[in-house]
Amino acid sequence: MKTIKISLFLLLSSFSLKAQIKFIPDNISKDSSINTLRNIPIKGASKKVDVFMLGEKPKEEFYKVRILESSGSADANFLLNQLKQNAATLGFDAIQILGTNNYNNVGYSTTSAITQGVINGITRTRNYQYYPVVTTGQTISAIAIKYKKNMDYVANNFKEATIQFNNQDKQVFHLKYSLTNYLLAENDINQTIFFLQNISLFQYADVIVNNSQYYYDSNGLTNYTSNAQFINGKLITDSSAVKYKFAFNDDKTINYVNIKVTNATEFGTSASYTINYELNTNNTIAKRIIKTGRRNNALYTDVLKYDADKRYIGFDRYDSKSNQLLYTVTYSFFSIEDLPPTDN
């Protein structure tokens, strides 16, 4: 096994329990604001986009997800092709044309300054003259459509996390996810806080470790930095709340990771950790060894588990000092049968 050392520095301030978790109730039912018609997960790019006119619809089971538009002064065929390319990039399988709209844009242009002559050594010019310029164009609007048969990727989305404690009471926590990978507001808040503080923070680093070659190839020998935050248990990138910094070895494995949490909304009091990763021969994570304190005393050892499809399905967490099993985290997954009724 390969051993990787990852340091995490959490710069946190103390919050009350009620302030430790950032729930946004509106986002539970519509947590993907771009998908305004249907809040379903869309993933990857599509190789082909079918086109339907208003009144037509696909034979396949489908979802109407959002509105797409393409605008410009080019002809309708060019704009339609542009619309199809945009739909394919976003992962849609078809578009249903709603219509076109012509528009006029009024702008202003200027004439060149005209030299009137030289008086007393100074060049005199006439002021610029402004005149209106009208440009015409059109907008094509369409509904973006996703075929249900092409959504088998939901089988990689967590449906529920179960935490089975190895204590006298054999306590069990259950935390449910939405299809779009958020923890639901209906979950017990104390169970959610425990999950976020002890599990969620480290699993994002796992994603980078398991895909280190991709990030290495994308960034060369430079560091890869990701800013992020957690909302309702889901990590949202491009935020200053959490900063992950990854450096790479020459063999494209992770050398180290620095993590700075600047917003303690979901993570409680100050702490610092060092994590050692042991990798399997296929570079997936075998173990997480979590250390804490100035002397980096081993705190927990996580033994990760995978199923026959190589999906990460959870881990056993042990007390590193006594080697006693503390609890087991197990994930279940959505299936295509869990998707809502289609729009046929």
pLDDT at 193 over 90: no
The token duo for 287 is: 């173990």
pLDDT at 266 over 50: no
Q: Which residue has the higher pLDDT, 241 or 293?
A: 293
In terms of Cβ atoms closer than 10 Å to its own Cβ (0-12, 13-18, 19+), residue 61 is middle
Q: What mean pLDDT, rounded, does the chain reach?
A: 75
Q: How far apart are CA 18 and CA 190, in angstroms?
A: 9
Which of 32-46, 84-98, 287-301 is predicted least confidently? 32-46
The pTM score is 0.72
Place of tokens 């060894």: 289
pLDDT at 142 over 60: yes
Is 264 in contact with 15 (CB distance < 8 Å)?
A: yes
pLDDT at 173 over 50: yes
pLDDT at 35 over 60: yes
Q: Give the residue-averaged pLDDT of 43-58.
A: 92
Q: Which ranges constitute the DSSP H helices of the chain?
A: 25-29, 76-90, 189-195, 201-210, 212-219
pLDDT at 229 over 80: no
In terms of Cβ atoms closer than 10 Å to its own Cβ (0-12, 13-18, 19+), residue 263 is middle
pLDDT at 230 over 50: no
Which of 25-29, 53-57, 88-92, 323-327 is predicted least confidently? 25-29
Q: Give the residue-averaged pLDDT of 120-135.
A: 64
Percent of the chain with pLDDT over 90: 35
Question: CB neighbours (10 Å) of residue 11?
Answer: 14
b/e per residue 183-211 (b: at least 16 CB within 10 A)? bbbebeeebbbebbbbbbbbebbbebbbe
Q: How far apart are CA 249 and CA 255, in angstroms?
A: 5
For the chain, the domains span 2-30+151-338, 50-107+133-150
Percent of the chain with pLDDT over 70: 63
Of 148-157, 213-222, 249-258, highest mean pLDDT: 148-157
pLDDT at 131: 63
Highest CATH level, class, for 50-107+133-150:
alpha beta
